Chains A and B, each alone.
Chain A
Amino acid sequence: MSQPYRLATGGDVDRNQTINFSFDGKTYTGFSGDTLASALLANGVSIVGRSFKYHRPRGIMAAGVEEPNALVETGDNAFQEPNLQATTVLLHEGLIARSQHRWPSLAFDVGEINDKLSWIFPAGFYYKTFMWPARAWRFYEYFIRKAAGLGTCPDKPDPDSYDQRFAHFDILVVGCGASGLEAAVQAARKGARICLVEQSNELGGQLLHHPEQIIDSLLPADWLKRTVDELTAFDNVTTLPHTTVVGNYGYNYFTAIQHLRTGVTPGSKTHNPRQRLWKIRTKQNIFATGAHERPLVFNNNDRPGVMLADSLATYINRYAVLPGRSILIFTNNDSAYRLAIYAVKAGAEVRITDSRDGSEGHWVKQAATMGIRIEFGKVVVSAIGKRKVEAAIIMSLSSNNAAVEGAAETVPCDLIAVSGGWSPVIHLHAQDRGALVYDKDVSAFVAADGFEDQPSICVGAARGCMDYKTSLEQAATAGANAAFKVGFGNDTPTNISVAETVVTGATSPLWMVPAPQGSRVGYHKHFHEYQNDSTVADIQLAMLEGFESVEHLKRYTTTGMATDQGKTSNVNALGIAAQHSGHDMKDMAPTTYRPPFTPVTLGTIAGRQHGPLFSPERKTPMCQWHKENGAVFEHVGDWLRPWWYENPGEDKHGAVARECMAVRTAVGMMDASTLGKIDICGPDSAEFLNRVYTNSWLKLGIGKCRYGLMLNEQGYVFDDGVTTRLGENHFHMTTTSGGAPRVMTWLEDWLQTEWADLDVYLTSVSEQWAVISLSGPKSRDLLRNLVDFDISKEAFSFMSMKMGAIAGVPARIFRISFTGESSFEINVASNHGLHVWKALLDVGQDFGLTPYGTEATHILRAEKGFIIVGQDTDGTNTPMDLGMDWIVAKNKNDFLGRSAFDLPVIAEQSRRQLVGLLPIDKTTLLPEGAHVTRMRDEPFPCSTLGHITSSYDSPILGRTIAMGLIENGRDLINQSIFARNLDGSSIEMMVCEPAFYDNEGGKSRD
């Protein structure tokens, strides 16, 4: 029969919509409205997973996010998703689910041997063994890793897409149970902007399975409808079902995960994202997040068929599934009596074992009236049945809860429903360091009172309030109050929903059921924590071994460290520890609560930020042309720059050599648009430059350019570039491409804080200007054809700037050179960049104009011994180290970094200095980064003299060249030293001045 455990009537499932799904290859049917868990239960599937350590068979225990056992993998191939709780997977057509962490099958799992051997392997056993022989850990580890882990990671990129949204609200209400809805309605009525979030796909919380709960004389369904309708009518309310608030990062900043669709849409379009990350900024927050029921801890309490009482009620009333026929309820509080009533109504046989002495509560009385057998003062000491509960053993509990006594009765049953009390969901409060106190009445931790000035409050079950009437009152007050605090209306709620008062008996804590005297297994199978198989015995052992702090307990026993983060187990674990050490619960503190509340898909946080959207791929105005003309690109920061241009049949080496030679012998052109550019204006501009650069700027003539080095306050070079005086009070600064934002921020800093007296304005114009560097002996002849002014050597001297037109558009042209050849840096408005680039190409044909990339530039400048900041410097070099003493003004009182020159370290003898290096063998290319020794083949380990910063094969010189930062390098000029390969071999090289070509510099002035 299909769905043998489905009830004929009732529930929120749609029996007209059958859904086919598979679990471990077997196909089943369920109904629309089911979760995977409810559908599996309806089909009588009792084993769903295996536990982490002992591989014990496990079934479904809960009905929501607190489920520790029933973890499955869904989807195939790229759509595979491991470790999902069957209780939170919505059933959908074609759902493929698999059990995990078992081999070869769920039913017969070889790993179960661990359970047999569990008596040898208590908590932390792995710290005590696997140490022989020495260093054998990697061997053991191989097997241990295989045995550990749960699901498997997909091996293909995620085909799904994810969305992100930032949103601002006045009030965030988390949880749409009775409390959350009431709070939201109250606040909405006052006019505040509200975000109402519910992790389940349906609104209603507990009300969804408490069908007898009358509110405002309405049945729950009707009250829910009325309330939701009212909320929907407000346009100041945003309701987000199937959305979980996962993180409270403080100061009213929350993250939430919205599930936008279920199931797999193969080939799904990017516009149909699977999940959305919300970043929510609010002013007031109400946590109406309910409470999680706790299990009771007895021998074999993890057997399939042991379920949380209220979860079982959920399956019966919400999903119309009664997964057993004969239910033994084991409780220490009144709430489970509701289940008794539902279960009997659904046709089950029910018997109740209550550890308390008695209760006069409403439901207890009702259950008694219905003739349900209730036994007080008794406990389940053990579950019987390995793959499914077959019976329970019951004994009496001694008056101090310390022992069990009397005869053991075996009660046949196919389900044991347990309720060990309720733990309010205080996670969001606690994540933000909200104070917690132990509440005796609730037997759990709740948010501490006295935070009226705080923006967040817990209400309803989340505050430990376990009856609807008070919860609703509390919620209504909180809602009105929150609205009032954000400036809407007064703090008095209107038309509070009223529930009947229900008398309930007190919860009597029972952290663990004592093991019967002489029991062989003792506490070794009392699981307080299911997924990681943490038992009462483990806690006892840890404490015996000196792990007293609960944080130690957690880490030694791994309790609370599983995917459910101890939602059902943490309070019990504390109770057990308290009991064991003789502490009062009020002196115990839970371990730290941390985001996320429930696990969050990594891809959801990444959103669309991957591939080209990971970070901007910045392109210059001429980029498209480069692409179409064989450019191989280099990533420089976010920029894409042509590295070299590959002609058909060329390799990198050939292409770069061709480009270099073109510049040296004819003319080349490079896109230098990525350079940082800053417009500097104001009466104190020259003084400002004087302070940020090492050299003098006051006397620079208008229209003249000068190279400058910027130092940080430690006296080390951090950027360089050419700055030009456009007018008396007006300069144009260039910076390195990568350093542009940093330099701008740095300059603003000095201007706005330390030197606020200087009248200077800075404006970034990096992207206003496209820059084309035209370089080579024929550059002038070429350019002449395109400009409308005199560019002769006499009229337009080296290191000066002129404005005029090129190819019909305005330009600023700078006579500066980074290659050592006669060069023109042509700046035109970015939108003209491509136009001018193409115009140059047209005219350039006759001159052998060759576009060249960054690699050629680097070679050309190295031939000249020009540094690249960041390559030939590493943030620890002074200008003197770089052989650039000439750029440090001797007569200036102060500039940034100057003071540091007085530090002993700067004056030190053995500093590394930039020198040129010539391999004795002209064809040997020195490895960049190679370190240097004075002696050939000096055995490693040894000390370094320094390292090679730049190394190239120079086409014009027909040999390899290099530069390096070498200790006392300048003293070694004309001596030979040795670069050392990784294998220790030596390459002999000669130290020289860092300049290899046209050392007089005549060419660039040409």
Chain B
Amino acid sequence: MINSSNQDSYSTQPLSIDTISVGALSLQQLPTSGKLILRGKPNDNAFTNRVSQLLECELPIKVNTVVTSKIGTVMWRGPDEWMIELSLDQVDSLQTDLIAILENQHINIVVVTDAYSVLRLSGQGAPDVLSSGCSLNLNKSEFGTDQCAQTHYHKIGIALRFVDETPTFDIFVRRSETEYLWRHLELACQTNAPH
């Protein structure tokens, strides 16, 4: 009965709009995904091994990298912090499993599913659109496959994930700041899409 993934009541995504496309560029609010913050010590083998086993992938220890596994993607967020993105209905069980295998360790697992929304920006010129407010070096050689980074877009913090060579980027943004980012990017798309 009580289920955090009760889709019906997930009535309130931050934006009422889903997708716009301008020329080759598209901007999309992705449906709510499950998100967990995992904290733990990267040099603690017990911790990394157990997590790796459960996730069936290595925990990305390397700065600004993403690892994809069956369960979802794991993003580096800091030397002792990762974000696991997975489907909504698996959040509870993964959380439970993680807690179980990591019992008595100094770790933390926090559900942040609703705290962030994800915008997907795709198409030729997408880096230019992002660069309208983001100072990160988005040249292909600097930011590509399997990479992620936390940075800012004008006044707000965002996390970027490189998705594919189209290029496509996923942008994690605080729920309440989603509209601000969306409006900025929408205008930047219109400016940058070839007419």
Contact = CB atoms under 8 A, between A and B. Distances in A.
Interface string B104-115: 001110111111
Interface stretch (B9-17, B55-63, B65-73, B159-167): B9-17
B131 A165 contact: yes
Interface stretch (A429-437, A762-770, A965-973): A762-770
Interface string B1-44: 11010100111111010000010000000001000010100000
Contact of B191 (A163, A639, A679): A163
Q: What's the interface size class on A, roughly?
A: 35 or more
B53 interface: no
A832 B111 CA distance: 14
Contact of A273 (B2, B179, B183, B191): B191
Contact of B135 (A279, A761, A768, A833): A279
A835 B134 contact: no
Contacts of A679: 108, 110
Contacts of A832: 6, 9-10, 12, 114
Contact of B2 (A607, A764, A808): A808
Contact of A165 (B12, B128, B180): B128
Contact of A830 (B114, B131, B136, B138): B114
A396 to B, nearest CB: 61
A166 B129 CA distance: 10
Interface stretch (A90-98, A565-573, A614-622, A867-875): A614-622
Nearest to A162: B191
A163 B155 contact: no
A613 B185 CA distance: 11
A505 interface: no
Contacts of A906: none
B176 to A, nearest CB: 4
Given A161-B187, A615-B155, A618-B180, 6 more contacts: A193-B139, A270-B191, A271-B22, A759-B106, A768-B110, A769-B114
Interface string A703-733: 0000000000000000000000000000000
Contact of A271 (B2, B128, B179, B190): B190
Top 7 nearest A-B pairs (CB, nearest first) are A271-B190, A616-B180, A830-B114, A618-B176, A681-B108, A761-B108, A835-B9
A770 B9 CA distance: 13
Nearest to A680: B108
Nearest to A622: B12
A226 B71 CA distance: 55
A639 B177 CA distance: 10
B176 A620 contact: yes
A759 B174 CA distance: 27
Contact of B184 (A613, A761, A834): A613
Contacts of A88: none
Nearest to A807: B9
Interface in B180-195: 180-181, 183-184, 187-188, 190-191, 193, 195
A255 B75 CA distance: 33
A766 B115 contact: yes
A609 B176 contact: no
A608 interface: yes
Contacts of B136: 166
A830 to B, nearest CB: 4
Contacts of A763: 37, 39, 108, 110, 112
A746 B154 CA distance: 23
B74 to A, nearest CB: 16
A613 B186 CA distance: 12
Given A767-B176, A830-B12, A270 B187 contact: yes
Interface string A244-280: 0000000000000000000000000111110000010
Q: What's the interface size class on B, roughly?
A: 35 or more
A767 B116 contact: yes
A617 B180 contact: yes
A489 interface: no
A271 B176 CA distance: 25
A164 B179 contact: no
Contact of B139 (A168, A620, A788): A168
Nearest to A830: B114
A829 interface: yes
A768 B2 contact: no
A620 B178 CA distance: 11
Interface of B: 1-2, 4, 6, 9-14, 16, 22, 32, 37, 39, 80, 106-108, 110-116, 128, 131-139, 142, 154-156, 174-177, 179-181, 183-184, 187-188, 190-191, 193, 195
A825 B65 CA distance: 39
Interface string A783-812: 000001000000000000000010111100
B2 A164 contact: no
Given A165-B128, A193-B139, A270 B4 contact: no
B188 A768 contact: no
A766 B131 CA distance: 28
A78 interface: no
Nearest to A730: B108
Given A763-B110, A768-B113, A612 B9 contact: no
A11 B163 CA distance: 51
A739 interface: no
Interface string A127-170: 00000000000000000000000000000000001011111100
A270 B112 contact: no
A166 B191 contact: no
Given A273-B191, A767-B174, A805-B2, A168 B9 contact: no
A193 B193 CA distance: 23
A856 B37 CA distance: 37
Contacts of A834: 11-12
A238 to B, nearest CB: 11
Contacts of B14: 619, 621
Nearest to B104: A683
B22, B133, B176 interface centre (most CB from chain A within 10 Å): B176
A613, A759, A764 interface centre (most CB from chain B within 10 Å): A613
B183 A613 contact: yes
Contacts of B176: 616, 618-620, 639, 767
25 contacts: A166-B132, A193-B139, A271-B191, A272-B191, A279-B135, A612-B183, A615-B180, A616-B176, A618-B177, A621-B12, A639-B176, A679-B110, A761-B108, A763-B39, A763-B108, A763-B110, A763-B112, A765-B112, A767-B116, A767-B175, A768-B111, A808-B9, A809-B6, A830-B175, A834-B12
A492 to B, nearest CB: 25
Contacts of B110: 679, 681, 763, 765, 768
A166 B131 contact: yes
A161 B183 CA distance: 14
A983 B113 CA distance: 56
Nearest to B7: A831
A377 interface: no
A612 B112 CA distance: 26
A780 interface: no
A281 interface: yes
Nearest to A621: B12
Nearest to A167: B131
B172 to A, nearest CB: 12
Nearest to A253: B135
A361 interface: no
Interface string A596-626: 0000000000011100110111111110100
A388 B172 CA distance: 65
Interface in A668-706: 679, 681-683
A270 to B, nearest CB: 6
Contacts of B156: 616
A165, A619, A639, A835 interface centre (most CB from chain B within 10 Å): A165
B179 A617 contact: yes
A279, A608, A761 interface centre (most CB from chain B within 10 Å): A761
B115 A765 contact: yes
B12 A831 contact: yes
A607 B155 CA distance: 13
B1 A609 contact: no
